[in-house]
Structure 1
Amino acid sequence: MTPAPAPADHPALPEPKTGILIANLGTPDGYDYWSMRRYLSEFLSDRRVIDYPAWKWQPLLQGIILTKRPFTSGANYRLIWNEEKGESPLMTITRDQTQALRDRARAEWGDKVMVEFCMRYGNPSTQEVLERMVKAGCRRIVFLPLYPQYAGATSATANDQLFRALMAQKWQPSVRTCDPYFDRPDYIQALAGSVHRVLGGRVPARLIASYHGMPKRYLLEGDPYHCQCQKTSRLLQAALGWPDGVIDTTFQSVFGTEEWLRPYTVEHVAELARRGVTDIAVISPAFAADCIETLEEINGEIRESFEHAGGKDFTYIPCLNDDPAHVEVMLNVIRENIGGWV
């Protein structure tokens, strides 16, 4: 039976689609003072990231921290900035990941799907992209935060922002959020493949698996991130077939005076060098794309710490970025979550 036509004054409705939305942390729009200040203010005001009471934290943040830190952070971003495209490497890589995923999804599902990306902080914002997808006809959305290991300060806050954006929609789409993928065999094999590509058959004296840090208190309060990082390292060692003691799990990007997860990468590599371990490689399994924490902190500050203490051979293994094996991992996760929708 043919459905009755809509009244002449009925708003036009787009053809229904299923959306695929990937999310990363974010990036400032530029490395100038005000771009950095806007970005850092949004990031460091997130209660998932800094959970101190607002009355205690905000005066410190808006005063001392955001007066000085935009200058130092901007200088670091300037070192890695993609001047040709006028954006940070994280933005360039995330756009490339999205296009690769879009091409694969179009080949598999045709025009039934729409693939986009958003950033938790900065642009394109979660709300902006969600609104665009809803207007384009996305009645169902698979949401994939690009964090292999779950943490409240990463995966959870990305989900929070999506749910806040949904609150503004008159007609909310159905949404499925994806589980972390830290122990998936395809992800572990992709990591192992990246190690082989860079090192060939060479086994360094140490492979440092450096993960973004968090306050130790978060672990004690129930956040599973630390345990998932440790498991990722164990699975990577098994996939590489390396003996015990070659891979060390460490944590970087310590902020403030509170104790964070240990050992700290910057201190650990220096201690290794002082003990005569002069050949190391560093990989960042918690990052889906190279960014300020890998390109400047690991390949800059942490490398310098190692070499200053006497280290000689330092090899950085890039993130998986838009490597076909990584795109396949993302696609596999999406396939498992899109079932019954396309």
Structure 2
Amino acid sequence: MLTIKPELCEALLAPEDVITALAAAHAGHHAGRITQPLPVALAVPGHDDLGPERPRHVLMSACDGDITVVKTLLDAPARRRAGDPAQRSVVSAYSTATGECLVLVDGRTLTRVRTAAATVLAASHLARPGSRVLGVLGAGPLAEEHVRAARERFTLDAVVVWSRTRESADALVARVARDGTPARAVASPALVAAEADVVFCVTPSTAPLLDVGDLRPGIHVAAVGSPPRPGYQEVTGEVLMRADVVAVDDVAIASAESHTVAQALRAGMSADRLVELGAIVAGDHPGRTSRDQVTVHSSIGVALQDLAAVRLLLDRLAAGAGVAPTTAA
């Protein structure tokens, strides 16, 4: 059994490779070749006093016939107050033929990379052709990974950043500019949306950052930072209701786990308007059909994305990535 730590995971998962792997996985899910049930959330006893921030262990799984992956994710928002990550996870993969555990992967890097790859995959199908200005709401490691992945599919003239603290926004701007893309910080999410062709929302926000009035014709918005629990949303339900195309990773999971999607459905949006990313990737849904359409990708992450990333890791290791046969540190 292999154990893959963050450093090796980072080295093996090139953004473009992950985007390609996720395209195949989402198309496979659309065709019925990959199954994934609804996640199971286990409340952690003894923390009732934390209310909405009560920690939960979330169990996610997916199977492609040869491999089953199981992710165990601790989602504990109160940990942020101590400066600790709110989420920690481990992904394990099993042979469906023998039942043996093939690999354990620390989830930090894998989740960050596959999340950004999924966002860029959706944007590459839904953003207006010729989009060259990227907006980012948030300035942490996930935001930086999104910019890194976006460079694989978009020619960026500029990156516009907003964060709750100007210091963090300026720090991300400096890192992006060092890699060769002009970047600057602005004072509000609305100013990001006013300039950007594509906006990536990558924050654990409990209050919407964008509303329907911020949607310019032709804009593509990805809301991907919210955890799968009630009370977290980066855009209002009205944003989804206004959009011409609303893409989700999995309709059943989005309807059950996304606060934003649930809000829009309660407000009267038909579930038929939710389009799975796999249908768009496979060409069974046209996605954007005109330059002025508003498109939205609402994502909380799904296990098939972890499966695709783990399979890519295993393929790289099988091809000889320079690691020992029983461990990958």
What TM-score results when the alignment is normalised by the length of structure 2?
A: 0.37
Compare the two structures and name the one with the higher helix fraction. Answer: 1
Higher Rg: 1
What TM-score results when the alignment is normalised by the length of structure 1?
A: 0.36
Compare the two structures and name the one with the higher strand fraction. Answer: 2
